[in-house]
Amino acid sequence: MIELSLNFFLKLFYTLIASNLLLRFIKWIFNYINKINSVNQLKGMYMLPFLGNIHQLKTKHEFLMQIRDFSYKFKDEPMWRMWLGTMPNYIFHKGEYAEILFSSSKNTQKSVQYDFLHPWLGTGLLTSHGDKWSTRRRLITPTFHFEILNDFLSVMNEQALIMTEILSSLVKNKQEINIFERLKACALDVICESAMGQNVNAQNDQLSDYVRAVARMSELVTYRFFDPLEWSDFIYSRTQRGKDYKRCLKILHEFSTKVIMERDNDLDDVDLMSKKRVAFLDLLLKAKREDSSITFNDIREEVDTFMFEGHDTTAAAASWACQLIGSHPEVQKKLHQEVDLILGESNRPLTNDDLKELKYLDLVIKETLRLFPSVPYFGRVISEDCDVGGYKVLKGETAVIVAYMIHRDEKYYPDPEKFDPDRFLPENSKDRHPYAYIPFSAGRRNCIGQRFAQMEEKVLLASILRYFEIKSVKSIDELEPVGDLILHPNNGIPIELKLRC
Ligand code: HEM
């Protein structure tokens, strides 16, 4: 009798579970079909059920070209769509339609792809959202105050000098120069010194464990972004790359933790503002002393975020600028004239006033970031159903904002592939849509390091231009721009430099 009722209850239990699962599955299928019907109103690649467009996506250089080709193909559409498995992605390729993502306090949550950065950056400024993000943003904004940035100008000048000395010795030895590698090492030294007050000497010692781990980590995160087979933590941790990721993570976290602890021991509140040079880290440690809810882990998240966001981006932008300057002699001539007029024959460090005077260089940097925005696309979660250009955009799905294509909209940039710094003269840009140019993103989640980056780019480029003439060796197509986390050349940027007499 007991056995009979046990059997009965077990059967009932299994039936309930099975019918519950079946019901959920039916509901999911129903939602999925509805989603397909809604999203496929938009133009896009032919999709397969469940796979979406995953099987059609290209990698590396070809992926960016694929996005470019589809954006040109659908250029009269406000957006187009791409399915990653069963997840639709709305591709925003026009500034005026991306406005909905920038202009309000909604849609500020980053898309699911950013989760791959969590083990490294935690939920720091770049990856967090909601209250945590707004508290952090409020805390960190003062560290980018104008006066504090002035302090970092000397770091930039010092590192730029080291870079030009290395470049001079390479020129003397007639060695080929990969300017991307040189600028990356220089930008890493600048950000390490500014964010942590630590000199990692990347320019002279590119093989240090920390320097290698930063480079390898950015590479590994990118691989993971684009390979669905690496998305599951369980599987990833068992692969060779997953193990390498764990190894790098250990090096990076041990380094930043050690620096934070040492700096905290050294820090004396009374002394802070009289210190010769204050790092971002000092300001965060000071905030921690005033607000006990801030933990060392919170600080490490932010320091790691600065390290990640703060060097490859600037280095890539300055490298593309060198490539474009070196292939446009008329632009280079004007730049040399401007630099000579402002700096003369002196070797003195650049001042803030010099930076303000370098107006043509400013136009060149802006136009370079139009053609080669360091962050070529970024993602958001749609926070509520909305209408974009007559199409319904569904809550909870992903929006991908393609700055690379927004910057090639013929409506605002005729002959968009042409490098023409004059596009940014005030008279030529006054009627441009505010979201037609977004290299630093826009709205509440814009780049907090924008002014720092602009200062650094000017110092690095003016330092090269005052001593050297640049000649590009390859064309843009030969360089194969790759849109990973950062828009970088596939195999560096080889250039020839000639010392100016
Ligand atoms: C040319 C150089 C740079 C470019 C083009 C650039 C561009 C961007 C873009 C497009 C975003 C938004 C990313 C997204 O929504 O996923 C961003 C965010 C951010 N950037 Fe930059 N960046 C540059 C340099 C820097 C530097 C030097 C720092 C630090 C010193 C920095 C720190 C950050 C941080 C912390 C965020 C997250 C801000 C937030 O969500 O509140 N960036 N940057």
Least confident of 221-230, 283-292, 370-379: 221-230
CA distance linking residue 167 with residue 312, whole number of Å: 19
Confidence of residue 270 (pLDDT cuts 50, 70, 90): very low
Q: What would the mean pLDDT of 450-470 be, rounded to a whole number? A: 97
Mean pLDDT for the chain overall: 91
Query: Which position has the token pair 């599987």?
Result: 235
- The candidate with the shortest Cα–Cα distance to 487, out of 363, 364, 377, is 377
Q: How far is CA 373 from the centre of its chain?
A: 9
18 vs 244, which has greater pLDDT? 244
Residue 258: CB partners within 8 Å, gap ≥ 6?
Answer: none
Model confidence pLDDT, tens digit, residues 27-67:
999 999 999 999 999 999 999 999 999 889 887 788 999 99
Residue pair 82/45 in contact (Cβ under 8 Å)? The answer is yes
Model confidence pLDDT, tens digit, residues 378-430:
999 999 999 999 999 999 999 999 999 999 999 999 999 999 999 999 999 99
Judged against a pLDDT cut of 80, whether residue 6 lies above it is answered with: no
Q: Which of 313, 314, 398, 459 to mutate to test the pocket of ligand 1 (most atoms within 8 A of CB)?
A: 313
Q: What would the mean pLDDT of 3-22 be, rounded to a whole number? A: 81
Residue pair 37/371 in contact (Cβ under 8 Å)? The answer is no
CA distance linking residue 280 with residue 327, whole number of Å: 37
Question: Where would I find the H helices in 327-395?
Answer: 329-343, 352-357, 359-371
Domains, the chain, in order of start with CATH, read 130-499 (1.10.630.10)
Residue 348: other Cβ atoms inside 10 A: 9
- The candidate with the shortest Cα–Cα distance to 90, out of 75, 105, 78, is 78
Q: Does the annotation place 248 within a ligand binding site? A: no
CA distance linking residue 422 with residue 428, whole number of Å: 7
Q: Enumerate residues lining ligand 1, CB below 6 A.
A: 125-126, 137, 305-306, 309-310, 313-314, 317, 374-375, 378, 439-441, 445, 447-449, 452-453
Residue 139: CB partners within 8 Å, gap ≥ 6?
Answer: 284, 287, 294
Model confidence pLDDT, tens digit, residues 205-262:
766 788 788 888 888 888 887 777 888 999 999 999 999 999 999 999 999 999 899 8
Q: What would the mean pLDDT of 485-492 be, rounded to a whole number? A: 91
DSSP-derived 3-state class of residue 298: helix
Q: Which of 447, 457, 459, 486 to mutate to test the pocket of ligand 1 (most atoms within 8 A of CB)?
A: 447
